[in-house]
Each structure stands twice: as structure tokens, then as C-alpha cells.
Amino acid sequence: MQIYEIFPELRAPGFTVPVCGKPAVMVAMTARSGSSHLCKVLAAAGDFGQPNEIFNPRGNVQDECVRLGVSRFDDYFNALTAKPAGHFLFKTCWQDFAPFAAVWRQIFPDLTVVYLERKNIAAQAISLYKAKTTNLWHKQHGEAHKKPPPVPYNYTKIKEAEREIIIERQAWADFFRREGLMPPRLLYEDFETDITKALDLFEGLLGVPLRRDLPANVGLIKLADEESKALLSAYWKQDCGLT
């Protein structure tokens, strides 16, 4: 689904995009790079609400339109950015940001970008493959989930997931280069077990203190397990021609 299907006026001649009237921070990310966990922690540490995928038409946008009681993009966007927080934080993958890439400066006159990436792309691909196979994308503390059935090893589908991630990473790199942007990079591996480095980065960007006395169960539960390790090992071996 494309966002134009929800907001057809975006393609109407003469449509004027709305303008964010406050400083904004965009977390540019790829799938399974820890963005949901990061944003839940940021919501607990600051007073700007939950940073969401505001351009994601596959669920987030539709749900928010229902909650806000709006049907036009400008009403939707203005309602989101009208919250009293001094900054507007959101996250997006390239696929969802691409329709706005040519007009981002008009929409966000004061935008800071943080690029969230993962060093271990193979592990990221395993995570994406498992999520697509089980439809289990996140798990919150205290949330009951029926354990999904074992995920079979499938080299072709894992390779497809890896290519998907690589293509999106390249799209972000091209955008940054084209727009003359050099966003700070935050690695998943730097905050997966200790969120301190991520909080330090955002505290510096926002210029406001973030709470550090966070509960131990803040954020999301890491889904990688022994099965993930076994899939990754099998994938590495086959990718290197060792099987």
C-alpha cells in the first residue's frame, strides 16, 4: 500500500504540504534495526510522546487517522505535530519517506536526522525473515504471546531479506549524499544491551535532559534467541560455501 491511497490529495495539482512548526528529529532506519525499542525508551525518557512511523501506510497512518478523526493529510499531520512537546520526534524507513523526499525541507524547516543502522546485516536479515514468517514483530514486557512454531531454515528467503535491507541502506545513503546531509549514526549494537549511548546522543541533539532512572523493563523484549543463532550460523556457512 502507498500513502497516496490513503491521502489521494497528495497527488492533486497545487497541493501544498503542511509545515511542522517546531524542531523535528527523524530517525531514519531500516527494518529490524531496533527502532521500536529505541522509540519506546525515548518516550519513557522524555516528554515528547511515542515517536512513531508517521508515514507508514500499512497500519500506523490508518490507525492514527481513526484515532484523530481525520481524513486529509494536512489535518493528520497538523494534529500530530500540535502536541505541546518542544520537539517532534518520528521514525521512518526509506520506503515510506520516499514520497516526501523531494519536499522534506518544506515540511520540516528545522529537521535533525539520526541514522539508525545495524552492523551485522546477516543477523538483521535473520530477524526480518523470522518476523515475516511468524508475523511476530515485537514483544512488550508482560505481554502474553503464543510461542510461534519453529522457523525453517530457508537460504533464499534470508538472502532476499538481506538484499531488501541493503537496497534500503543504499537508498538512505543516496538521499543523504544528494541532500548534503551527514546525520549522526547510531548502531543497534551500541544500545541493544545498554541504552545509555542512545540517550546521550538524543539528549545532545534535543538540548533537554532525558530521564535515566528508567525501569528495567522499559522498551521491548529482544526476540533473538537460540533459533536465531542457529539460523545465522547455517546462513553464514552456506553463504561462504562451507556447506
The string of pLDDT tens digits covering residues 109-149 is 999 999 999 999 999 999 999 999 999 898 887 777 677 88
Averaged pLDDT, 73-89? 93
All three cell numbers of 34, joined, read: 531496533
Residue 192 in grid coordinates: 541493544
Residue 83, pLDDT above cutoff 70? yes
DSSP one-letter string for 195-241: THHHHHHHHHHHTS-------TT-SB-----HHHHHHHHHHHHHHTT
Q: Encode pLDDT of 159-177 as tens digits.
A: 999 999 999 999 999 999 9
Q: Calculate mean pLDDT across residues 200-227.
A: 91
The DSSP string of 165-196 is HHHHHHHHHHHHHHHT----EEEHHHHSS-TH
- pLDDT score at 55: 96
Rounded to an integer, what distance in angstroms lies between the CA atom of residue 189 and that of residue 159? 21
Averaged pLDDT, 5-24: 94
* Lowest-pLDDT range of 84-93, 147-156, 214-223, 231-240: 214-223
Count how many domains the chain has.
1
Burial of 155 from C-beta contacts in 10 A (0-12 / 13-18 / 19+):
middle
Question: Look-up: residue for cell 531479506?
Answer: 161
Helix (H, G, I), strand (E, B) or coil at 5: helix
pLDDT of residue 165: 98
How is residue 99 annotated by DSSP? G
The enclosing domain of 235 has a CATH number of: 3.40.50.300
Cα(212)–Cα(58) distance, rounded to whole angstroms?
Answer: 33
What pLDDT shows up at residue 145? Answer: 67
DSSP-assigned states of every residue in 35-90? HHHHHHHHHHHSSS---B-TT-TTTHHHHHHHHHT--SHHHHHHHHHTSSSSSEEE
Distance between CA atoms of residues 62 and 204, nearest Å: 33
pLDDT bucket at 240, cuts 50 / 70 / 90: confident
For 151, what's the count of Cα atoms within 13 Å in the CB-facing half-sphere? Answer: 27
**pLDDT score, position 147:** 79
Kindly tell me if the per-residue pLDDT of 227 is higher than 80.
yes
Q: How long a stretch of residues is the chain?
A: 243
Domain residues for the domain of 18 are 3-239
Q: Would you place residue 239 in the very low, low, confident or very high pLDDT band (cuts 50, 70, 90)?
A: confident
d(CA 226, CA 193): 17
